[in-house]
Structure 1
């Protein structure tokens, strides 16, 4: 039998390719993961579609973070309020509980939410299980990432 790592309903997550550590709501009801961005813009590089995005400086320890990534897909996503929007998806590395893996996530404005990131079930598949009565079981994000850290 496969032993899965137990997560709480909220955890610190590192996204090292973006130089980011963020508090995430662990949500088995969400299929995909979502990352809050204050703004985003599309462009082409080498003929391929890319998305640029900006986070902060509110809640990012006073630092503005700008990053860009290739768009791997664009899909309609229905939020918990029933609103459907077309979102850009990117692939990035995620570090959580000693596990590192590539995950897909979409970019959206989560400004009114308590957590800047939503960790969906496809990012947790085959490795993690969730104990909804517990939180932050794996401590803060790795210090080696340095700033910025989104606290929200």
Structure 2
């Protein structure tokens, strides 16, 4: 029995350092000062934020992106952020245009400070129109790793409303 306990101890210690989140959580997008409901999706690699009228441009020779939140009619002001990179997102079989040879969609990626529960993280988010989906923010596995997250799909909003000390440093 002691051998079994000692064998399982490292896994138990690692699990105790994780935070349990539900399938859906509230998230504060600090950069934009908006709280949204998010879907936590361990099957997705990246995070996605609902955006429309996405336009890439140069500012002082650097790549930037301008967009509007595609959440509701209250968000009529453009948001401008430095462009981190372009992500290639694999298309689903029903999303592939037979006349187009690409099996992926190119999406601009930006860095955003996101508060979920009591944890503030800087994460990469790709921009795409998610207005057809219930949740305007999808948080994928790369971001979930930064949060040391365990996702319990039987829970919703387990972390409660975002409550981060914004004045504190962002966890890297």
* TM-score, reference length from structure 1: 0.84
Give the alignment of 1:1-152 within 5 angstroms: 1-2=13-14, 3-56=17-70, 58=72, 62-80=74-92, 83=96, 84-125=104-145, 127-141=148-162
Corresponding residue pairs, total: 143
Q: CA deviation at 1:56?
A: 4.8
DSSP 3-state at the match of 1:124:
helix
Higher helix content, 1 or 2: 2
Contact 1:56 1:64 in 2 (8 A): no
Contact 2:118 2:162 in 1 (8 A): no
Contact 2:117 2:162 in 1 (8 A): no
Unaligned runs of 5+ in 2: 1-12, 97-103, 167-172
In 2: Cα distance, 1:7 partner to 1:57 partner: 23
Q: CA deviation at 1:64?
A: 2.5
* TM-score, reference length from structure 2: 0.75
CA shift in 2, pair 1:107/1:56, >3 Å? closer
Q: What's the Cα RMSD here?
A: 2.3
Unaligned runs of 5+ in 1: 146-152
Higher RCO (CA 8 Å, separation ≥ 6 residues): 1
From the CA coordinates, give the structure whose radius of gyration is larger.
2
Question: Which segments of structure 1 move beyond 4 Å, counting only runs of 4 or more?
Answer: 79-83
